[in-house]
Amino acid sequence: MAYKVLLLDGIDASCKTILEQRGIEAVAAPKLAGDELLATIKDFDGVVVRSATKVNETLLKAAPNLKVVGRAGVGVDNIDIPMATKMGVLVMNTPDGNTISTAEHACGLILSLARSLPNAVNSLKNVAWDRKKYTGSELSNKVLGIVGLGKIGSGVATRMRSFGMDVIAYDPFTTHERAQEMGVKLVDIDELLKTSDFITVHTPLTEKTKGLVSKANASKLKKGVRLVNCARGGIYTETDLVDLLNDGTIGGVALDVYSVEPPDASFAELLKHPNVVCTPHLGASTEEAQEKVAEQIAYQIADTLELKSFKGTLNGKAIALSTNKEVQPYLKLAERIGDFVAQVVPDNTDYLEIEYHGKCAQHGEVLTDSLLKGYLTNYSDEAVNLINARYLADFRGLRFKETLSKDSKTYSDLIRVKIQGKSRFKDFAATPFGDNDYRIVEIDGFGIELALKGIIVLYKNIDKPGMLAAVSTEMSQRGVNIAALSLGRSAKGLEAITAFRVDRKLSTDELKAIDDVDGVDFAHYVEMADN
């Protein structure tokens, strides 16, 4: 059977060459878009894209023969993976292909900020000779703060240490041992903001990373810090950057990515600022990287169509299990409890004990993949999925032990996660109650029942009259509605645990108001998906 693959977005020519060598018809259409694309794609078995083409529901439904979507690069924000999975279309990327190029680009931006290179070049091209104006600063003995120690972040760390920089990092899922191997000191995010001379970010854009630097937290920054972003637009609040530059809070900004691409008129003042270095999303745009990802995706696509290998597939296991109604609830439960635990345990936890009880135990291997996906997703600079979750856990030094048991004393199915080391909460158990109803049923031996969705506040407290009333009063005074509540206690008059869900996000001050209630021990905030 002759397969046909459509190559969009200006994929390097090596992709077409390799596919044709494998007997696959490859059609390069770098500018194909809109209705013309929808009319054309119906005849193809595969499509390869970069970041320009949006592989959304409309496109997928216009391609009844489509078997695989290949992303020549890392990011898959432009691909609707759930819809592709639902329609039985494999999605794959090439996560290693542009790691070096992006890390090198970030390093180049750091150097450009330190030595005012773009401004100095422009000055001389305009026949000026102003050496004093463009006096720079050395990188040696400066502190580089890296947010996210995945492949790209760790690549930046290795390279910038050779310049004599002291490298610190914030990554809650990298262990201290792994960081030490790289010569990096792990710190909390506030210390990183306070002590860094340069900050570079290598994480996805999430609710936790959005606005990492903004006017709201300007007081936390070291005066004159210089910022680099080759990850995702919006991690720094772009609308605040001009004011922060003008008042001296930050000394310079280097941007390769933007919340709107290409940047619209609202970015004009920022991009023209003399202390801003800006490039048009060039992190992966080297000849080597583009050729490398094109070759990788060509081999992966060919192997997949010929059913030889499914390397790089982001939803392969998901497709295999998407129609299995017995496994689906457990996959969702495992991912939810992984996400929950990641937000509750201390940063840099290095060991998890995972137990499966009841019928779900027979699917333990893939459930661990799903649990690790939930655990790692918020701070990984790669797309975490069922295929690569174990690899990324190992890369960060996270160890885990799995135990399977067909017996379950209380519930027919139970997933339990235990934490070793210093942690206020050490033992979590959850079970499915029905369609899309996944609940925590035990924390540290306390019986509790709360749906794993929405915004949850969790704390331990002294078991005495008036505790719940005191917390409820604090919430009421701040206009916060408690939507659901669960209580558990060890014995009358001793310790208790409380978890409740609220209707909106809490500010730091609102969470502190709970923590300050006499008898409350460490109020913790967890934000889960609503569905």
Q: 368-396: b or e for each residue (b if 16 or more CB lie within 10 Å)?
A: bbbbbbbbbbbbbbbbbbbbbbbebbebb
Please compute, for residue 217, the number of CA atoms within 13 A of its CA located in the half-sphere on the CB side: 20
Task: State the CB neighbour count (10 A cutoff) for residue 473.
Answer: 13
Do 405 and 429 touch, CB atoms closer than 8 A? no
Six-digit token pair at 417?
Answer: 């996660």
Question: Which backbone phi and psi does 139 adopt, to 5 degrees?
Answer: -85, -25
| Marked catalytic residue, from 138, 261, 269, 306 | 261
Task: State the CB neighbour count (10 A cutoff) for residue 122.
Answer: 11
| Marked catalytic residue, from 115, 161, 176, 281 | 281
Q: Rounded distance, CA 231 to CA 238, Å?
A: 14
Please compute, for residue 370, the number of CA atoms within 13 A of its CA located in the half-sphere on the CB side: 23
Q: Rounded distance, CA 102 to CA 286, Å?
A: 9
Active-site residue flag, 191: no
Please compute, for residue 279, the number of CA atoms within 13 A of its CA located in the half-sphere on the CB side: 20
Active-site residue flag, 357: no
Angle (deg, nearest 10), helices 99-115 and 287-305: 160
Fill in the amino acid letter for 234.
Answer: G
Q: Which residue, among 394, 375, 395, has the nearest Cα to 385 in the 3D structure?
A: 375
Active-site residue flag, 524: no
Do 423 and 460 touch, CB atoms closer than 8 A? no
| Marked catalytic residue, from 232, 439, 501, 524 | 232
- Using only the alpha carbons of the chain, give its radius of gyration: 25
Active site residues: 232, 261, 281
